[in-house]
Amino acid sequence: MITKQVWLKTILAIFLSICIAFYVNQFFKSISEQVGVVVASENIPAQTQITSNMLKTVQVRAEDRSLLVPNAFTDIQAAVGMVTLTPLKAGEVVISEADKLVLPNESVSGIPSENKALPKAFFIPPDQRAISLKVDAEGTLGFSLNAGDKVDVIFTSTNGEMGGIYSKTILKNITIFDIKTISEKDRESSSNLILQNVTLLVSPEEAQLLALSKRKGKIDFILTPLNPDSQDWDLTKPTYPQEIYEKEIINR
């Protein structure tokens, strides 16, 4: 006759066997589970834009990847186009971290990030150029403009060489690429000698127009709204001094 104690031992043995089988199965499963990890196929210098031929995928244990390099890229195409901030050695795992890689155009309108290690040239779209202008407080809305703002550009001729005195909108909806910070002391100053460097993103043809304009007159920026109306302003018609006197008062 089988005693109660024998039954308990039998049940316990079966339970332990099941547990051991489960953990052994999990162990072998973790060994067999592998994932692809992106590594450098060659030495990649700092400040280099990554291409697909610079990378390759190697297989590693999923557990090792989770423990050692959880931020590693698993898809080559996800890393293509990014720029290295530090060198990568051949065979080194490519990690998605802000102090190692940056995507040039990840910021709105291609505006450079706070990371100063990356040259600004990486943030300029291929069909555009960056050009700087020195503008006073009146022309920059009291030094209140910021990188990423959209502005229209008004040129004011102050001499006969450019056809007399007039003002004319020469460019519309231009992105401010970078802008020099003005101290609070300078902001409060009434001096017209304080100028702010403003860098714009424009086409090569527009850059030529600005290069001449900033040397032959005065530049003002007017801030555009987030959602400007669809009205197509006539940029060819300048405003002359006599129009100030002839203009009728507009009630709003």
Decide the pairing of beta strands 101-102 and 164-179.
Answer: unpaired
Per this entry, what is the length of the chain?
A: 252
Domains recognised in the chain with CATH numbers? 34-102 (3.90.1210.10), 122-246 (no CATH)
Percent of the chain with pLDDT over 70: 73
Residue 113 banded pLDDT, cuts 50, 70, 90: low
Decide the pairing of beta strands 83-84 and 101-102.
Answer: antiparallel
pLDDT in tens, 146-185: 988 999 999 998 876 667 788 999 999 999 998 887 777 7
Return the HEC string of the chain.
CCCHHHHHHHHHHHHHHHHHHHHHHHHHHHHHCEEEEEEECCCECCCCECCHHHEEEEEEEHHHHHHHCCCECCCHHHHCCCEECCCECCCCECECCCCCEECHHHCHHHCCCCCCCCCHHHHCCCCCEEEEEEECCHHHCCCCCCCCCEEEEEEEEEEHHHCEEEEEEEEEEEEEEEECCCCHHHHHCCCCCCCEEEEEEECHHHHHHHHHHHHHEEEEEEECCCCCCCCCCCCCCCECHHHHHHCCCCCC
The pLDDT assigned to 222 comes to 93
Which tokens go with 198?
Answer: 């403003």
Mean pLDDT over residues 82-109, rounded?
79
The pLDDT assigned to 152 comes to 94
pLDDT in tens, 173-220: 999 998 887 777 766 665 567 888 999 999 999 999 999 999 999 999
Among 53-57, 126-130, 157-161, 227-231, the least confident range: 227-231
Mean pLDDT over residues 14-26, rounded?
68
Average pLDDT along the chain: 80
* Cα separation, 197 vs 184, whole angstroms: 16
pLDDT in tens, 41-72: 999 998 888 999 999 988 887 777 776 788 88
The pLDDT assigned to 238 comes to 83
Using alpha carbons only, what angle is made at residue 175 by residues 134 and 113, rounded to the nearest 5 degrees? 90
